[in-house]
Structure 1
Amino acid sequence: MRVAIFNYESPESLRVRKLLLNRLEEETAITYDDQQPDVVITIGGDGTLISAFHHYEDRLSTIRFVGIHTGHLGFYTDWRNFEVEDLVESLQNDSGQSVSYPLLEMSATYDDGEIERRVALNESTLRNIVKTMVCDVYINNQLFERFRGDGLVISTPTGSTAYNKSVGGAILDPRIIGFQLGEMASLNNRVFRTLGSPVVFGSDTKLTLRLPDDSGTVLSCDRDQIMMDSQSHRLVDVSYRVSDKVIRFAKYRHTNFWDRVKDSFIGGIQ
Structure 2
Amino acid sequence: MTKLSIYFFEPNSKNSEQIMDTLKHTFKDLGYTISKSHETADIIASVGADGAFLQAVRKSNFRNDCLYIGIGLENRHHMYVDFNYHNLQEIREVFKDPHFEIRHYPIIEVKINDHQLNYCLNEFTIRSNLVRTMLMDIYINDFLFEHFNGDGLVISTPTGSTGYNKSLGGAIVDPLVNAMQVTEMGSVNNNSHRTLGRSFLLSRERPLSIVVDTSIEYYPIMSMDNEALTVQNIERIQVRLSDDNIKTIRLDNNTFWHKTQRNFL
Say whether the fold is shared (TM-score over 0.5). Answer: yes
Residues 88-107 of structure 1 aligned to structure 2 (within 5 Å)? 88-107=92-111
Which residue of structure 1 aligns with residue 187 of structure 2? Answer: 186
Contact 1:8–1:14 at 8 Å: present in 2 too? no
Query: In the superposition, relative to structure 1, how do residues 228 and 55 fare at CA in structure 2: closer, same or farther (>3 Å)?
Result: closer
Residues 244-259 of structure 1 aligned to structure 2 (within 5 Å)? 244-251=243-250, 255-259=254-258
Q: Higher mean Cα deviation, 216-225 or 163-172?
A: 216-225
Query: In the superposition, relative to structure 1, how do residues 14 and 123 fare at CA in structure 2: closer, same or farther (>3 Å)?
Result: farther
> 2 CA distance for matches of 1:15 and 1:242?
40
Residues 1-270 of structure 1 aligned to structure 2 (within 5 Å)? 1-8=4-11, 15-27=18-30, 29-35=31-37, 36-57=40-61, 60-71=63-74, 72-109=76-113, 114-130=114-130, 131-213=132-214, 214-229=217-232, 234-251=233-250, 255-266=254-265
Partner AA of 1:193 in structure 2: R
Contact 1:128–1:216 at 8 Å: present in 2 too? yes
Shift of 1:10: 7.9
> 2 CA distance for matches of 1:159 and 1:142?
26
> 2 CA distance for matches of 1:52 and 1:265?
25
> 1 CA distance for matches of 2:115 and 2:199?
27
Q: Higher mean Cα deviation, 45-54 or 235-244?
A: 235-244
Residue 20 of structure 2 aligns to a residue whose secondary structure is helix
> 2 CA distance for matches of 1:119 and 1:228?
15
Shift of 1:23: 2.5
Question: What TM-score do you get using the length of structure 2 for normalisation?
Answer: 0.90
Contact 2:129–2:218 at 8 Å: present in 1 too? no
Contact 1:7–1:13 at 8 Å: present in 2 too? no
Residue 165 of structure 1 aligns to a residue whose secondary structure is helix
Partner AA of 1:265 in structure 2: F
Query: In the superposition, relative to structure 1, how do residues 11 and 118 fare at CA in structure 2: closer, same or farther (>3 Å)?
Result: closer
> What do residues 166-206 of structure 1 show as CA deviations (whole Å, max 9, x unaligned)?
11111101100010000001111122111100011112111
Query: Root-mean-square deviation (CA), in Å?
Result: 1.9
Contact 1:104–1:156 at 8 Å: present in 2 too? yes
> 2 CA distance for matches of 1:115 and 1:41?
30
Structure 1 residue runs of 5 or longer lacking an equivalent are: none
Question: What TM-score do you get using the length of structure 1 for normalisation?
Answer: 0.88
> 2 CA distance for matches of 1:5 and 1:11?
13
Structure 2 residue runs of 5 or longer lacking an equivalent are: none
Partner AA of 2:258 in structure 1: D
Contact 2:137–2:146 at 8 Å: present in 1 too? yes
Query: In the superposition, relative to structure 1, how do residues 11 and 56 fare at CA in structure 2: closer, same or farther (>3 Å)?
Result: closer
Residue 241 of structure 1 aligns to a residue whose secondary structure is strand
Query: In the superposition, relative to structure 1, how do residues 81 and 93 fare at CA in structure 2: closer, same or farther (>3 Å)?
Result: same
> What do residues 93-136 of structure 1 show as CA deviations (whole Å, max 9, x unaligned)?
11143111111111111xxxx42311100000111020211100
Query: In the superposition, relative to structure 1, how do residues 244 and 184 fare at CA in structure 2: closer, same or farther (>3 Å)?
Result: same
